[in-house]
Amino acid sequence: MRMPKKYFQQEAETMPVEEIKKIQDEKLVKQVKYVYDNVKYYRDLMDKKGVKPEDIKSTADLHKLPFLKKDDLREAYPYGLLATDLNKCVRIHSTSGTTGKRVVAFYTQNDIDMWEECTARALVAAGATEEDVVQVCYGYGLFTGGSGIHGGSHKVGCLTLPMSSGNTDRQIQFMMDLNSTILCCTPSYAAYLGENLKEKGYKPEDNKLKAGIFGAEPWTEEMRRDIEKALGIKAYDIYGLTEISGPGVAFECEEQKGMHINEDHFIAEIIDPDTGEVLPEGTKGELVFTSLDKEAFPLIRYRTRDICILSREKCSCGRTFVRMTKPMGRSDDMMIIRGVNVFPSQIETVLLNCGYAPNYQIILDRVNNSDTFDINVEMGTEDFSDTPKEITKREKKLQDAMKAMLGINPKVHLLAPKSIPRSEGKAVRLIDNRKRYGITI
């Protein structure tokens, strides 16, 4: 058996912090000039703030630059933030926007290579070598999970099983017949697979899995322990977002104490979500990313809305990249349901498009490690019906419209007018019973 390599790109992953800073300084100056010259949207934002590319001489000047928010992406949809000729782009991926328009991110071949190197780093940190069989059950398609990990797995030289999500019986059959050694999926699906394996009479030692790389949604340390026990593996966290590339912006090493951010490609800042002020290391706040190498869709000071803490404490794995904690919450109202990002404003858009008033309530819970998602919606007094057949028909129609907008299927319940309790102040739109299990997003 081949000894696992410790790092995919040792030089980059273990370089002294002063060197990381130097590289970031140089790349930042170039990237800011590049966006200013090539993206009118940025030029306007910077001009409005009175800052020119020449004002940015190093990362110490980063705070002078304007933030970019998800709303900017909606405003610039679809090509407004594209920094290169569309002919140079080879792929798009997409994630939820706050209303009907989705976020679309573009990639050149160099962008894809850089991203796949990041996911390869994550795989190697979890012990991957070319002898491994990597079962990728993140979704393939517009979602970045499947193809991002898939590309990294190729770079490491692993045998890659492009399973995509769902079809649990086939997942288990391939896992057992093809001897998968590394499992990549959302943590809730990993837990679900563990339960299914048990139901089918398999013990943890019956599979050949040694590690799992799980992310795209919040999960707790308790959940990590359950998954590790159920599958007989070591479970690693991985973080990322479509806007910045996808999975692999940050990844866990064998220490399992926070995720190393790939700082040769991205600068991370923590800000106060209310004031925008940059906070010192070790303080809890909103994570902001600046890309350093992206060609098609470079983002400067992009507000992720994820709340976390950064730490530069030395890590025994030898990597020098700063570490982020698991996201501890959001500074907006985004929910992650079965690994899919959902905004209440998307639900309101569907209701309005389908002729309903936005009197609704979202109820989330977790049953057998899987999210349940119910939406109660009031009927109006004019179109009220109490015929069960008619109600079922309307519920189905609304449910289909929700599925088309959100990509996941809620259970829609139509209720009599005025049956959702009115609150004195802000409407209580969300009842998230998953908090009982430590899930905070």
Write out the residues near ligand DLL by the rule CB under 6 A.
Answer: 95, 138, 144-145, 215-218, 237-242, 246-247, 304, 306, 326-327, 336, 341, 441
Output 194 or 247, the one with its CB closest to ligand DLL. Answer: 247
Output 238 or 267, the one with its CB closest to ligand DLL. Answer: 238
3-state secondary structure labels for all residues of the chain: CCCCCCCCCHHHHCCCHHHHHHHHHHHHHHHHHHHHHHCHHHHHHHHHHCCCHHHCCCHHHHHHCCCECHHHHHHCCCCCCCCCCHHHEEEEEEECCCCCCCEEEEEEHHHHHHHHHHHHHHHHHCCCCCCCEEEECCCCCCCHHHHHHHHHHHHHCCEEEECCCCCHHHHHHHHHHCCCCEEEECHHHHHHHHHHHHHCCCCHHHCCCCEEEEECCCCCHHHHHHHHHHHCCEEEEEEECCCCCCEEEEEECCCCCCEEECCCCEEEEEECCCCCCECCCCCCEEEEEEECCCCCCCCCCEEEEEEECEECCCCCCCCCCCEECCCCEECCCCEEECCEEECHHHHHHHHHHCCCCCCEEEEEEEECCEEEEEEEEECCCCCCCCCHHHHHHHHHHHHHHHHHHHCCCCEEEEECCCCCCCCCCCCCCEEEHHHHHCCCC
Residue nearest to ligand DLL (CB): 215
In sequence order, what are the beta bridge partners of 29?
none
Distance of closest approach, residue 323 Cβ to ligand DLL, in angstroms: 13
Output 190 or 315, the one with its CB closest to ligand DLL. Answer: 190
Output 144 or 320, the one with its CB closest to ligand DLL. Answer: 144
Distance of closest approach, residue 160 Cβ to ligand DLL, in angstroms: 15
In whole angstroms, give the CA distance from residue 6 to residue 124: 7
Distance of closest approach, residue 225 Cβ to ligand DLL, in angstroms: 16
Distance of closest approach, residue 289 Cβ to ligand DLL, in angstroms: 10
Output 194 or 246, the one with its CB closest to ligand DLL. Answer: 246
Output 32 or 103, the one with its CB closest to ligand DLL. Answer: 103
Output 34 or 219, the one with its CB closest to ligand DLL. Answer: 219
Distance of closest approach, residue 317 Cβ to ligand DLL, in angstroms: 18
Distance of closest approach, residue 216 Cβ to ligand DLL, in angstroms: 4
Distance of closest approach, residue 239 Cβ to ligand DLL, in angstroms: 4
In whole angstroms, give the CA distance from residue 309 to residue 279: 10
Distance of closest approach, residue 261 Cβ to ligand DLL, in angstroms: 12
Output 161 or 441, the one with its CB closest to ligand DLL. Answer: 441
Output 53 or 258, the one with its CB closest to ligand DLL. Answer: 258
The size of the chain, in residues, is 441
Distance of closest approach, residue 247 Cβ to ligand DLL, in angstroms: 4
